[in-house]
Chain A
Amino acid sequence: MKKSVFFGALAATTVLAGSAFAGTLDDVKARGELICGANVGLTGFGAPDATGAYVGFDVDLCKAIAAAVLGDASKVKYVPTTGETRFTALASGEVDVLIRNSTWTFSRDTDLKFDFVAVNYYDGQGFMVKKELGVSSAKELDGATVCIQTGTTTELNLADFFKSNNISYTPVTVGDDSEALRQYDAGACDAYTTDASGLAASRASLANPADHIILPEIISKEPLGPVVRHGDNNWGDIVRWTYYALLEAEEKGITKANIDTVGTSTTDPEVKRLLGLEGDMGAMMGLDKEWAKRAIAASGNYGEIFETNIGTSTPIGLARGLNALWTQGGLQYAPPFR
């Protein structure tokens, strides 16, 4: 499946000959590297740090997939994508998987020919306002100026919300999260709307977080999750079940710390299957036995990833909420591993 471009040879390593439509797994293995479409400017979810290494909630899922497929969590190449270029990058095969807080919608799933394989973060669009404004509900925002990021589903939700409540607003469109926050902080808009997770992260980074409140209305459902191309079902399965392995690990209490010991001490057959001690689940997807073990070992289970990147102990301070396990009243639920 290799088709090289002649100046590709000139540019030595810059050519990536890849197949877009079948056998993503083979391509990834042949390349020895997972190409992950990432966000470069969303605190806590995906952004490079001072050394240029990507960190964040979404980034850790990329690492887990790389660990499961290639056996090395560091074999990931992050392709920075913008709200506007992300789906094209995926469709053209430039990235293997897009993990960039993308909302699962009907038209993206069907018309754009993608598969949203799981929901790694249940989000919803909310509003943040300054406390001194004296507003306690989004329905009181009649006539307000609202800062909003372009290129996302939020602008459609916003229009729908104000329309259905028969109130008016002035949109101030901005390009990225930090710019929106700057505008909001300077008072260029009364309210800032984006996914509630983003609002929490933004609020945390303001000089005086207590002066700002996040309004109780969540005006949309924003299931965010990893996206792959239509048609390559095996690759979709790998991404989906890698994610579920992280969830299952949290449910069964498998952590980064105890992953090497838990296999010997446990009697739970599902844990044994997950860790590859019984049966060979990996083979069904073209992976080896220990794929899930490596995925979990990369950055820990779902709960650990959540806590280190965006949890209550971080400056972002998000509560688990809808993203708690189903056993704790949340929505995160992994189908059985059998």
Chain B
Amino acid sequence: MTLVTEPPKANFRLGMLIYDTRYRSYTIQVIVLILFLMGVAWLANNTIENLAAKDKDINFGFLWNRAGYDIDQHLIPYTNDDTHFRALLVGLGNTLVVALVGCFFSTILGVIIGVLRLSKNWLVARLMTIYIEIFRNIPLLLWIILVYVVFSETRPAPRDFKIVEGQTSAAHMNFFDTIAVTNRGTNVPAPLLTNPLPTVHLGFLPISLSLIAVIVVIAASIYANILLRRRTKVVQEATGIRPTIWWKSLLILCVPVVALLFAMGLHWEYPVFKGFNFNGGINIAHSFTALTIALTLYYASVIAETVRAGIQAISRGQSEASAALGIRPGRIMSLVILPQALRVIIPPLISQYLSLTKDTSLGIAVSYLDLRGTLGGITLNQTGRELECMTLMMLIYLIISLIISAVMNAYNASVKLKER
């Protein structure tokens, strides 16, 4: 056996591979490696044999065939003539959209509930506790199904919105006749541009330059605002007087965007009832709304607990000291407690974002066509290529998760550096 990487000593005996702690770890690792490779080979061999027995092969070529099915919600243009690969991208987009929206709203709701749970108001604190316990202790799947049922059972049908001369319609639109929540979807106004910038086709993905322009302008405004605040801080430290800047901030943040949108001719297309349904505007399917709301409500309860634990981890002395300095209670929370609590809160928060992203796959309960619904659902079912579809799907989820983990680790590292 020539397994040892170090040159053997003069009095090396074979038995030392087992008895000598210097060598034993190598022995163990080599054995584990051999076992691991054998295991992998065994699985691979079985797979090949099984595929051969079923007269199948591993071939991702089906991704370029016509998909043939429709997807009701697509962020990129898609028709049933497009390929399975494009259906995959549409599904991935739907997964990410639910994940992002869910993370955003559950964080807001979770922070509010977590803070309110510690409120001195007896009734509110109890209600929040009840909320948290009810949502945490009942499967997410149930919430998704229930929210979905609530929407389709309690909202009026689109035809109830029909306005007949001389009669009042049975149902009304919300928010000054701009949003209609029917039992088959939510219709919101769509932003339209009269003179938009051109759209660039980057391979298969169309990229709207108008959208990019808006994002760039907003980013620039935020950066300018940061510069302004930094300058204000310098002034404050030099003179002891903090200049009033809120109106400057407001101007910097709003004017450029408004000017840009005005130049491009932004107007809204309102949903109008016509024929069977509302036409115009954007129709958001209830599968999306229900999934997002259920994820938001459920993860808000989880995040609320994290926030509560984070706040309680900050010693009472901090808030007492702030009170002694004469800071008002609301500001104690926002200026003293929360900034410190964030360090405790954010690592578990990110792992909850990770769970939320993975749990978007529960959209299966309301047939939301996310990555699992397209690639792992209809495509798999129509092509019968379960090995390829499942592998691809797991790989994509894994990449998403690893990206989120990487963000978490980067954040943890950055927090660690600040500690002295």
Contacts and interface: CB of A to CB of B under 8 A. Distances in A.
- Touch between A and B in complex, CB under 8 Å? yes
Interface of A: 20-21, 83-84, 87-88, 91, 107-108, 111-113, 133, 141-145, 150-151, 155-156, 158-160, 163, 169-175, 182-183, 186-190, 230
Nearest to B71: A171
Contacts of A158: 70
Per CB-CB distance, the 8 closest pairs between chain A and chain B, nearest first, are: A187-B157, A173-B367, A188-B152, A159-B80, A188-B184, A112-B384, A186-B152, A155-B69
Contacts of A88: 386
A155 B377 contact: no
7 contacts: A84-B381, A113-B56, A145-B276, A145-B277, A156-B69, A188-B152, A188-B183
A144 B384 CA distance: 31
A303 B274 CA distance: 47
Given A84-B377, A186-B153, A170 B283 contact: yes
A143 B277 contact: yes
Interface in B36-90: 53-56, 68-72, 80
A312 B365 CA distance: 34
Nearest to A149: B367
Contact of A155 (B149, B185, B378): B378
A83 B381 contact: yes
A107 B364 CA distance: 25
Interface residues of B, number: 39
B369 interface: yes
Interface string B354-372: 0000000000111101000
Interface of B: 53-56, 68-72, 80, 149, 152-153, 157, 183-185, 274-277, 279, 283, 285-287, 364-367, 369, 373, 377-378, 380-382, 384, 386
A173 B72 contact: yes
A19 B275 CA distance: 57
A233 to B, nearest CB: 16
B72 A186 contact: no
- SS class of chain A's interface: helix, strand, loop or mixed? mixed
Contact of B276 (A87, A113, A143): A143
Contacts, number: 91
Given A155-B70, A159-B69, A171-B72, A188 B279 contact: no
A206 to B, nearest CB: 15
B11 to A, nearest CB: 43
B283 A21 contact: no
B351 to A, nearest CB: 29
A117 B364 CA distance: 32
A111 B80 CA distance: 21
Contacts of B377: 84, 150-151
A190 B68 CA distance: 22
Given A186-B152, A188-B286, A150 B367 contact: yes
A113 B53 CA distance: 11
Given A150-B381, A151-B377, A186-B152, 8 more contacts: A20-B53, A141-B276, A143-B274, A156-B68, A172-B184, A173-B367, A174-B367, A230-B55
A150 B378 contact: yes
A39 to B, nearest CB: 15
A194 B14 CA distance: 72
A151 B377 CA distance: 7
Contacts of B382: 156
A150 to B, nearest CB: 5
A173 B287 contact: yes
Contacts of A172: 72, 184, 285, 287
Nearest to A144: B276
Contact of B70 (A113, A144, A171, A187): A171
A151 B153 contact: no
B384 A151 contact: no
A107 B367 CA distance: 25
Contact of A144 (B72, B277, B279, B365): B277
